[in-house]
Amino acid sequence: MSRVRSAALSGLLAVSLLGLAACGSDSSDSEEAGASLSSVTITGDQGKAPKVTFDGPLDGSKTESEVLIEGDGEEVASGDTVEAQWWIGNGFTEEETQSTWGEDGKGKPQSLEVGDEVLPFLTDTMVGKKVGDRVVLMTPSDKAFGEGGGARFNIGNRDAALIIVDIMGRKDTVPPLDGPKGEEKKPASWAPTLIEKDGVITGLDFSTAHKPSGKLIATTLVRGDGPVVKSGQTLTVNYLGQVYDADKPFDESYSKEPAEFPIGVGSVIKGWDERLVGRTVGSRVILEIPPADGYGEEGNEGAGIKGTDTLFFVVDILGAS
Judged by average pLDDT, the poorest of 159-173, 177-191, 279-293 is 159-173
Residue bearing the bigger pLDDT, 172 or 17: 172
**CB–CB of 245/205 below 8 Å?**
no
Q: What is residue 22's predicted lDDT score, i.e. its pLDDT? A: 37
Query: Is the predicted pLDDT of residue 48 greater than 50, yes or no?
Result: yes
CATH of 37-171, one of 3.40.50.300, 3.10.50.40, 3.50.50.60, 3.40.190.10: 3.10.50.40
Q: What is residue 172's predicted lDDT score, i.e. its pLDDT? A: 65
Judged by average pLDDT, the poorest of 58-67, 114-123, 165-174 is 114-123
The structure's pTM equals: 0.53
Which residues, 6 or more positions from 239, have their beta carbon under 8 angstroms from its beta carbon? 251, 252, 253, 254, 259, 313, 314, 315, 316
Residue 20 pLDDT grade (very low, low, confident, very high; cuts 50, 70, 90): very low
CA distance 229 to 288: 19
Where in the chain are the domains? 37-171, 182-320
**CB–CB of 93/26 below 8 Å?**
yes
**What is the per-residue pLDDT across 62-100, written as a single tens digit (0 to 9) for each?**
999 999 999 999 899 888 888 899 999 999 999 999 999
Q: What is residue 310's predicted lDDT score, i.e. its pLDDT? A: 97
User: Average pLDDT, stretch 292-300?
Assistant: 93
Q: What is residue 171's predicted lDDT score, i.e. its pLDDT? A: 74
Three-state secondary structure call for residue 271: helix
Fold (topology level) of 182-320: Chitinase A; domain 3 (3.10.50)
Residue 140 pLDDT grade (very low, low, confident, very high; cuts 50, 70, 90): very high
Residue 27 pLDDT grade (very low, low, confident, very high; cuts 50, 70, 90): low
* Fold agreement (37-171, 182-320): yes
